[in-house]
Structure 1
Amino acid sequence: MNRSSEINTRLDEQLHENHKSVTQNNFAEGSTTAYAELHTHSNYSFQEGASEAWDLLLTAKQLELHALAITDHDNVSGVMEFAQAAKELGIKPIIGIELTLAHGLDDPDDTEYEPAKRPHITLLAETAVGYKNISLLTTHAHIDAEERNDPHLDPALLADHAEGVICLSGCRRGEISKVVSNGDIASAQHAAKKYIEIYGKENFFLELQQNLVMGDVQRNRSMAVIARELGIGIVATNNAHYHVRDRHRLNDALVAIKNNKSLEASHRERRPNDQFFLKSPSEMGVLFTEHPEAITNTLKIADRCEFDITSDAIYDFPSYDFLPPGHTESSYLRKICEEAAVRRYGSVTPEVTARLDKEFDLLERQRLVGFLLQYYDIIRIAREVQEDLGLVEPGLDIEENPPGRGRGSSVSLLIGYLTGLSHIDPLKFGLRLDRFLPETLEGEKLSPPDIDLDFPREIRAELILRIHERWGYERAVLTGMISTYKIRGAVRDLGKALGIAEDDLSRLNKRLDRHSSISALAKEMAELPEFRDRVDAPVWQMLIELAQQLNHFPKYLAQHPGGMILSARPLSETVPLQRSAIDGRYICQWDKNASEDAGFVKIDFLALGALSQLSESLELIRKQTEERVDISRIDFEDHAVYTDIHNADTIGVFQIESAAQMQTVTRLRPRNLTEMAWEVGAVRPGVGVNDGVTLLIRRHMGKDPNWKFDHPLEEPALGRTYGVPLYQDQLGELAVHVGGMSAVEGDQMRRAFTRRNDERHIAHWKDKFITGALAKGVSPEAAEKVFGKFHGMYQFPEAHAFAFGVTAYQMSWLKHYWPLEFFVGIFNNQPMGFYNLETLKEDAVRHGVKVLGPDVNLSEKKAVIENGALRMGLTHVAKLNTATAVPLIEERTVSGEFVSLANFMSRTRVQQEVLDLLSAAGALDRFDNIADPDRIPPTITDRRHLRWESGLRYRPRGEKKDGSRQLAFEIPVEQDMIALPSESGWERMIGEYSATGVYPQGHMMEKIRPHLPSTVIRSEEVRNYANGDRISVAGLVIRRQKPNGKTVFITLEDEFGHSPLIIWPTMYQRFKQQIKESLLLATGTVSRREGTMNIVVENITPIEESIPQFPSRDWG
């Protein structure tokens, strides 16, 4: 990678051509002319750009560049971040792009280039119209391309989108540069004239680049001559791909990664030297001494580019176009709400009227009534999807059983509750509007509110397609999401580029903690015996060094899990669109932060497995009882349900089933929905950062009766949570009540900490907060204390916590009163939650639910209720998907039950692998001497013989042994059957687990326990031991958690229940490899605290390797 000798040779050649006596080290002594860099790639030029925007801008500021343009390859994903940072640093940002063309303007229209040889062009936005045209062109490059990941633009479209655009002819891969390099000046002139026809002489410049590459000087001279002859300008650029020279190593590695090659194999694709970094005006002046006007023109172009994307991006939320005659938006929405209020409250009460008056006043002032009506339409479309899929009874009032559930601050809206956007009554729980619709001062700009909606999985996919259809893909677009490098991805990609053996990389990645920062890579390797000696090896040192630079770099643009933007005008006029990896979906090139900064209204359609489970369980209850349970009107103060919650009987219960949540719910002991919201809100990083959970619990339980606010002005914000800032909203309230800010300023400060928690931003907001607090009579010491409660770590909005708290209670209620339906629902909606199917099965058994394995004659596609038991579905068998299960069930329905293995095989023709798994799962047990006890010796009655028989009968699909077509009839195989030893109980259990992930007949620890030391106690005995007692337990790891990279929580399961383990950070360092095993034996001391019980680990070992391993859930 170090090509310094090659560079110096080429440098000498260039300097000789220029007749200059200068070396690379005295560039800074050249001209001090001003310069603007108009061709720069950030790391949003995915797997090419080797520097973040911030590093590029800081370097530009240090070099005193007049302006800096961002021109990433075929996307504008980083422009908002770039422009905001540039303005902070006092640098003029110019927005542009380097587009890939399908072919040159001068090529025949049917010319086809392979991707690596397609020409490039550089476009800069002079005006807002110019940026719109760049966005439209980029959209065409992506949408019109045959392959989603191969964007390229038909150059015929340039002419229709030229207004407001300044066009530079491009890098060495530009159409004109390439033909000039080939010595074809006539063709270059002809092509240049075509660009002039499109852009005009004042808006088209030939781009000169001097990166000390052989041929640069002659190409630049030729292009300057062409420019003079045609009367157009020339402009100097450096095609910067990194901010400083040292980053060329990372650039080389990224290019190798992009091309799926090693560094050694990617010489042709990599840049020819290390000169593609930001250079000072002096350095550029020396490089372009022959062409000073090329430097001057950078300033002229920069001064012309007045477009500011931070303020000039055009966006309008769509108006509501479906009003009934005689209604305004407000009168129609009010009518909907008042009709629903009669159904929910019996009448439109004075309290309802007062709240609606306040909400409508705020909505009308912010012009958001149509916004809420659009959401109402979305909910109605979702209900149509439910009905079409047969998931709900037609005719239900939408607010009674909403198809989706609101989360976030929008849950505080009574309008949302009455229109089906939310399942939470804000009047009942006193939810405040401040976070969703803060009061604004005159002239303040309110960021558009988010309304997040959770939908059952089966609804969401179809709903997105229908919204695309309703508004059109250009007006209803999914938000982008930037996938970034983490430690394992960096090791894998960089290691491959550096030529490290894939086995070594795979082995290392399996041992690395996936939550570790890339900066910890060297330390993690040093702790692994097999890698300890490699840390100092040159190639591994290079990997570690490059990985540090790659930390959190963007890898590619993906689809946000649920964010969608609705727009009154084609969104492609504001941000480029492209196809998603999922057919029929379209995404924009901005992530949620950039979209929010542009003023976009983002709607989150999130798939929540718990809602799918809830919906299915309620439908099962209706079918079993012929009565419908209104889950919104159950008793929310049921003592029996809260007793289950206090006892942490919450496996499978949304939001309160993790180890940390179980600990918290046991300590907090909620007795109503307000306290359920506390529990849901408490288990968030932003609450634990100042020991908030412990403070809240102790104060709530009366164990700290003398606690005080840091200042009395905190009470309006924190009084309801004992002085602990539990929710996002409370931070904004502190800013208002203590810091003297407006509600909008308070929300802006909260967002600033969340989005960009760095010292400069903290200093800015701290100064504003302290100044305001002092003006309100707060002492400097108290003001500092209160400000210390602000941070960038995640917390729930209060209404969000209520929304999730209600759902958690409803799921607990279902589990208590309808356990069979609850567990059928959860079996059918995997994966979800924290636990695997075996753990859920064990919990079902503890709740009196009998679990039956799959059966080819009794099972449906999914789990069903069969004579008061849960019968597993055919798709619970590995490798047996819907496409295989449905034809099997249809055959059984039409032609009757399968009567023998031969009969089953001839009628279904399933693959041998599936036959083996069905046998292992016990789904073929009924064929074992049941239908025809005389067909083989009657003593042979186990699954091993079924597999043997299926192997004898099986022929590859469509063929007999001699290659002719197989006939669909049963062939005799009795003569080939042999007596085999029967499977042991352990073998059957292992087979069942491998096929279904479940042991239907018991728990594996029943078979293992006889081999354990006698000192190992059962999980059910742990409760009999006192605080400080030393005990040993063993079991299958069903959950590991390592929140915030600190204390580790592990739950072991045996045949009697669960044993919760705590591993302190020091012990984690000692046992971090051992605890990755699936079966563990742990010794430690009992710790009892506020109703909780844990085992604090002193020693931990994997159970003997002679016992087969089973998968356990890793860090989550």
Structure 2
Amino acid sequence: MYLNCHTWFSLKYGVLSPQQLIDEAKKNGIQKLALTDIHNTSAYIEVARLISEQSVPLEIITGIEFRRDNKTAYIMIARSMKGFELINRHLSRLNSLKEEPELRAPQLEDSFVIYPWSQNTPSSLSENEYIGIKPQQAHLLYRVKNKQLIDKGVILQPVTFSSKIGYNTHRLLRAIHHNTLLSKLTPELQASPDEQMIPESELLKYYWQYPKIIANTEQILENCSMDIELGTNKNKKQLNNKASDHNELRTKSLEGFRRRYEHYNSYAMERLLKELDVIEKHGFESYFLITLDIIEFARHKNFAHVGRGSGANSMVAYCLGITEVDPIELDLYFERFLNPYRSSPPDFDIDFSWQDRDEVTKYIFERHGSEHTALLATYVTFQGRSIIRELGKVFGLPKEEIDKIVREPDRYANSDEISGLIFRYGKRLQDMPRNLSIHAGGVLITEKPIYTYTATDLPPKGFPITHFDMFSAEDIGIHKYDILSQRGLGHIKDSVGLVRKNKGVSVDITRTDKFKKDEKIRALLREGRTMGAFYVESPAMRMLLGKLKCEDYITLVAASSIIRPGVARSGMMREYIYRHHNPDDYQYLHPKMEELMKETYGVMVYQEDVIKVAHHFAGLDLAEADILRRGMSGKYRSRKEFERVEEKFFINCKQKGYPEAIYKEVWRQIESFSGYSFSKAHSASYAVESYQSLYLKAHYPIEFMVGVINNFGGFYKTEFYFHEAKRYGAIIQAPCVNTSEYLTSINGKEIHVGFIHLKSLETKLAHRIVSEREKNGKYTGLQDFIERTIPGPEQVYLLIRIGAFRFTGEEKRALLWQARLYYGKKEKSKTKLPGGDMFHSKMKTYSLPDLDHIPFEDAFDEFELLGFPLCDPFLLLPENSLLPLAAKDMPRYLKKSFSITGYLVTIKNTRTKDRKSMFFGTFIDKNGDFFDTTHFPNTANKYPFRGAGFYNIEGKVVEDFEYPMIEITKMEKVPMVDRDKLRQQTLSINGVN
């Protein structure tokens, strides 16, 4: 009897999770209901999955509640999957047009329509249209003479929450949605307090006089049936036809094999044929061919790309050129990629440059059609501090009080009634979906139209997105293609172009086999000089490479994985480093562990290790081992299934006669992966890209750093990439209207800072400066520039201050005088067309007083306008404040006190096991060398970081695997020289009072 049930996917309206809705149905003895979220179709898959897993005697039918002006216009319920598709198309059309529904529903086959009884209820109804009578309205029917109302009436008891607390939570969500105080939330903007589920017997009491209404409601429920098939493959099954796809995949794989493996390898051929057989058995040919088609489009467009994901475990993928990782070389585990028990296709992540990804996505939509293609959604959920801020606002707290609660939640949790309510209801909002968003890269390509399974939204990016997330997509059997973007590929591509332009050299960036043997790259890795290089530039990674003395591909692949939190926190990262340097000074947990993981010294490092150990050590079958792997990687939702496999792991180990201490330690290591495990194929793919970056840095460091700067995606602030370029001999030039481009450019060893880095420069003017110069030649002076580009006065002033007119040979202050005098004249301030006057009047010159130039004036302007100075920042320290020691002195002070002045680069926040805050700092010293610091909780609280700038640091030098760091005992910020004091000193020296 329930035709209008909401879950929390009725965003900022419903409060029941799918599980809670099922629990309500069980509690009230409901065996069939209509799931009709407001403008959303996401919940039905998860509800169906939970019903199946828990064997709940509950059937669901699906539909959508359409609203206009915050009121229900009508509810559409699907009689079948065909009806559901048509309803989804209707909502998708409205979403794409950004329109609200009309008050009258469209006529769609295989669907029912219910209009709530109100003054807007249509006077005449079609056969499939009904009027919803709410329980509190039933007693009014005796006064109504309209026979149609009874004949076409149905029970309409919306379900939105399950208790008074749920109702209060709903009201808070509505206040958040409408950005209003809870006290000002009007009844029209919220549900009625009685929108709860009650037993059918109680519900029917309201309608005992109207059997026709009861019969109509039963008829709708009986005539609707949804065939929701979970788990069956719904991806596009054929690129052409099955036989053609099979032949094409086999032919192209064998061609690639001959190209990849010049010397015939019988083992490799045997493995390739085995993979092809498994792929054919599962019917995944089209998945590979569609991915290959995307790669071939990228090659045709000369787009940089990297194929990774578990598909990189596959020889087929390597032979097709989808990935550049050789699974034979790395002994990648085929069963991690695909095994006979796996029903889902392998996971291909294809990374493109952030500049190219949208064009690739557009191609996929055009190639496969918008009927069958959509981007995958994800849900932004209510979390932590944002909940406190939202609830604080609707309760009417001032911002200052909300900030206090956010900063010190433990202190204010129950300090008064309002804060108590914030934390009480905050727990109910935690993890609740807040709004629909776009998955980082998931693209779905389905055999049937996408509307068979979901309605779509159309975000500003212009590509439609589903209403369900990756978990529900997998549950129903639609598996994504990950089309991702990253800045690393962008800086590689741009760097190659800069090398060609600046040095006339064409770099073949695909020669990673050559790069792995390059001595210059080996030195960068060994010494941790990897700033700018993809995936290996963070302070933690530089430190790890230094500790490992990493020189080779295999070690770099391992490093990419052991730095992940799971391995690091379990203590196995440190153990790996120790065993790497002391290969004869440790014992394997068990001979089987030596056999399985000799390459990683018996330490579980990769997801593949979990599968190997679960299968070969604990005797789980490959399907069970994959369940374990998925659970540890945070991608599996069935805790019940996971717990069953976990239990079997211990039973099997005990039956095999392993000592309890051994198999418990093996499980501890597996468990440490939880949520953080990393595929070896992923690591290997990342390492290939790291080698490409490192080759460019080793041989063309200045061009490489400009490529990194222009892609704005590195670990560090832009300032430090300019700093790194200077260390390799670059000369950094401030923006100049006659030499700079919009992006940073290079000429020989000179790097010209791009206009994009000027904080307040208008983008249109920046582009106009370049285009006008290219069209009509260089600017001859300030007046010529103004008359040709027509900038506002403030724009000219900041260009003067950054030194963009230094080619004139005039001082900044003289130029500022000229500009102010020019703009001060009314006739010169009138709007002009670009191109200037037909007759140029020469700017008058005036006799100006001597203008004193204070030391470091340019650096202060650069700080203000760029955010960093282009000179050595240490020149801006006051006299006698620079401590004498440098980073290179640290090895001589091992376990001794050490004092140094550092310029802050970055900070990493973390917590100790007892949840206390601590930090790791990275600084540069007076010579431009990096050094790292550790700030344990006691000193972190006593000597906190106080923003960017200089710090005098005292501490003890410690060493971990020959990598020195400073354990902080004291730290204080050092102010830079004062600009006003310098000006006064300069004026005083020159005799000006």
Instruction: With the length of structure 1 as denominator, give the TM-score of the two structures.
Output: 0.80
Per the alignment, residue 366 of structure 2 pairs with 469
Per the alignment, residue 1088 of structure 1 pairs with 959
SS at match of 1:1036: strand
User: Any conservation in 2 of the 1:921–1:993 contact (CA below 8 Å)?
Assistant: no
- Give the drift of 1:844: 1.6
- Give the drift of 1:289: 6.5
Q: Deviations over 1:758-803 (max 9, x none)?
A: 8655533322333444454445554444333235312221111011
Q: Deviations over 1:558-613 (max 9, x none)?
A: 11221111123321122212212213x11111112211222113111111111111
Q: Percent identity at matched positions?
A: 22
- Give the drift of 1:451: 0.6
Per the alignment, residue 353 of structure 1 pairs with 269
User: Any conservation in 2 of the 1:330–1:360 contact (CA below 8 Å)?
Assistant: no
User: Any conservation in 1 of the 2:6–2:37 contact (CA below 8 Å)?
Assistant: yes
User: Any conservation in 2 of the 1:641–1:813 contact (CA below 8 Å)?
Assistant: yes
Per the alignment, residue 826 of structure 1 pairs with 708
Q: 2:772 aligns with which of 874, 891, 906?
A: 891
Q: 1:635 to 1:752 in 2, by over 3 A?
A: closer
SS at match of 1:178: coil
5 Å-filtered alignment, 1:159-170, equals 159-160=107-108, 162-163=109-110, 165-167=111-113, 169=114
User: Any conservation in 2 of the 1:757–1:792 contact (CA below 8 Å)?
Assistant: no
Q: 1:550 aligns with which of 417, 429, 449?
A: 429
Per the alignment, residue 573 of structure 2 pairs with 693
User: Any conservation in 2 of the 1:315–1:574 contact (CA below 8 Å)?
Assistant: no
5 Å-filtered alignment, 1:402-413, equals 403-413=304-314
Q: 1:679 aligns with which of 553, 559, 566?
A: 559
Per the alignment, residue 426 of structure 1 pairs with 327
Identify the range of structure 1 (798-807 vs 59-68) with the bigger mean alpha-carbon deviation.
Answer: 59-68
Matched, 1:235 2:160: no
Per the alignment, residue 1098 of structure 1 pairs with 969
Q: 1:53 to 1:973 in 2, by over 3 A?
A: same
Per the alignment, residue 40 of structure 1 pairs with 5
Matched, 1:247 2:161: no
User: Any conservation in 2 of the 1:338–1:348 contact (CA below 8 Å)?
Assistant: no
- Give the drift of 1:1107: 6.6
**Matched residue type, 2:159:** A
Q: 1:860 to 1:127 in 2, by over 3 A?
A: same
User: Any conservation in 2 of the 1:319–1:370 contact (CA below 8 Å)?
Assistant: yes
Structure 1 CA distance for aligned equivalents of residues 509 and 636 of structure 2: 44
Structure 2 CA distance for aligned equivalents of residues 803 and 744 of structure 1: 25
Instruction: With the length of structure 2 as denominator, give the TM-score of the two structures.
Output: 0.89
Q: 1:206 to 1:269 in 2, by over 3 A?
A: closer
Per the alignment, residue 1036 of structure 1 pairs with 904
Structure 2 CA distance for aligned equivalents of residues 826 and 234 of structure 1: 64
Structure 1 CA distance for aligned equivalents of residues 794 and 141 of structure 2: 65
Structure 1 CA distance for aligned equivalents of residues 53 and 144 of structure 2: 37
Q: 1:861 to 1:537 in 2, by over 3 A?
A: same
5 Å-filtered alignment, 1:297-312, equals 306-307=225-226, 309=228, 311=230
Per the alignment, residue 988 of structure 2 pairs with none
SS at match of 2:321: coil
User: Any conservation in 1 of the 2:378–2:436 contact (CA below 8 Å)?
Assistant: yes
Matched, 1:725 2:607: no
User: Any conservation in 2 of the 1:1077–1:1102 contact (CA below 8 Å)?
Assistant: no
SS at match of 1:434: helix
Q: 1:93 to 1:948 in 2, by over 3 A?
A: farther
Q: 1:759 to 1:342 in 2, by over 3 A?
A: closer
User: Any conservation in 2 of the 1:244–1:278 contact (CA below 8 Å)?
Assistant: no
Structure 2 CA distance for aligned equivalents of residues 248 and 567 of structure 1: 39
5 Å-filtered alignment, 1:234-313, equals 234-237=154-157, 239-271=158-190, 274-280=193-199, 284=203, 306-307=225-226, 309=228, 311=230
SS at match of 1:681: helix
SS at match of 1:425: coil
SS at match of 2:269: helix
**Matched residue type, 1:207:** G
Q: 1:925 to 1:737 in 2, by over 3 A?
A: same
Matched, 1:569 2:439: no
- Give the drift of 1:724: 2.1
User: Any conservation in 2 of the 1:1080–1:1100 contact (CA below 8 Å)?
Assistant: yes
Q: 1:1053 aligns with which of 924, 931, 935?
A: 924
Structure 1 CA distance for aligned equivalents of residues 932 and 142 of structure 2: 75
- Give the drift of 1:154: 8.3
Matched, 1:600 2:439: no
Per the alignment, residue 645 of structure 1 pairs with 525
Q: 1:151 to 1:431 in 2, by over 3 A?
A: farther
- Give the drift of 1:1022: 3.5
Q: 1:590 to 1:659 in 2, by over 3 A?
A: same
5 Å-filtered alignment, 1:19-58, equals 37-58=2-23
Matched, 1:995 2:856: no
Q: Deviations over 1:1060-1115 (max 9, x none)?
A: 1222355556666x45565544433322111222222334444459979xxxxxxx
- 5+ residue gaps, structure 2: 980-993
Structure 1 CA distance for aligned equivalents of residues 951 and 224 of structure 2: 65
User: Any conservation in 2 of the 1:41–1:71 contact (CA below 8 Å)?
Assistant: yes
Per the alignment, residue 1062 of structure 1 pairs with 934
Q: 2:496 aligns with which of 600, 605, 618?
A: 618
5 Å-filtered alignment, 1:298-447, equals 306-307=225-226, 309=228, 311=230, 315-321=234-240, 328-346=244-262, 349-386=265-302, 403-440=304-341, 446-447=343-344
CA RMSD of aligned residues (A): 3.6
User: Any conservation in 2 of the 1:243–1:278 contact (CA below 8 Å)?
Assistant: yes
Q: 1:631 to 1:279 in 2, by over 3 A?
A: same
Identify the range of structure 1 (735-744 vs 598-607) with the bigger mean alpha-carbon deviation.
Answer: 735-744
Structure 2 CA distance for aligned equivalents of residues 49 and 1106 of structure 1: 58
Per the alignment, residue 460 of structure 2 pairs with 581
- Give the drift of 1:680: 0.3
User: Any conservation in 2 of the 1:1035–1:1081 contact (CA below 8 Å)?
Assistant: no
**Matched residue type, 1:1001:** C
Q: 1:96 aligns with which of 50, 53, 62?
A: 62
Structure 1 CA distance for aligned equivalents of residues 970 and 954 of structure 2: 5
Structure 2 CA distance for aligned equivalents of residues 1049 and 223 of structure 1: 75
- Give the drift of 1:155: 4.9
Identify the range of structure 1 (721-730 vs 976-985) with the bigger mean alpha-carbon deviation.
Answer: 976-985
Structure 2 CA distance for aligned equivalents of residues 221 and 1106 of structure 1: 87
SS at match of 1:458: coil
**Matched residue type, 1:459:** D
Structure 1 CA distance for aligned equivalents of residues 171 and 850 of structure 2: 61
**Matched residue type, 1:874:** F
**Matched residue type, 1:522:** P
SS at match of 1:674: helix
Structure 2 CA distance for aligned equivalents of residues 281 and 224 of structure 1: 27
User: Any conservation in 2 of the 1:522–1:535 contact (CA below 8 Å)?
Assistant: no
**Matched residue type, 2:621:** S
Matched, 1:846 2:727: yes
Per the alignment, residue 548 of structure 2 pairs with 668
- Give the drift of 1:409: 1.1
Per the alignment, residue 172 of structure 1 pairs with none
Per the alignment, residue 14 of structure 1 pairs with none
SS at match of 1:887: helix
Structure 2 CA distance for aligned equivalents of residues 899 and 947 of structure 1: 17
Give the count of matched residue pairs: 968
SS at match of 1:579: coil
- Give the drift of 1:328: 3.1
**Matched residue type, 2:154:** I
Per the alignment, residue 985 of structure 2 pairs with none
Structure 2 CA distance for aligned equivalents of residues 1009 and 153 of structure 1: 71
5 Å-filtered alignment, 1:210-221, equals 210=135, 216-219=137-140
Q: 1:266 to 1:437 in 2, by over 3 A?
A: same
Per the alignment, residue 863 of structure 1 pairs with 744
Q: Deviations over 1:955-1004 (max 9, x none)?
A: 89x9855789996365555566754754534442132133234422222x
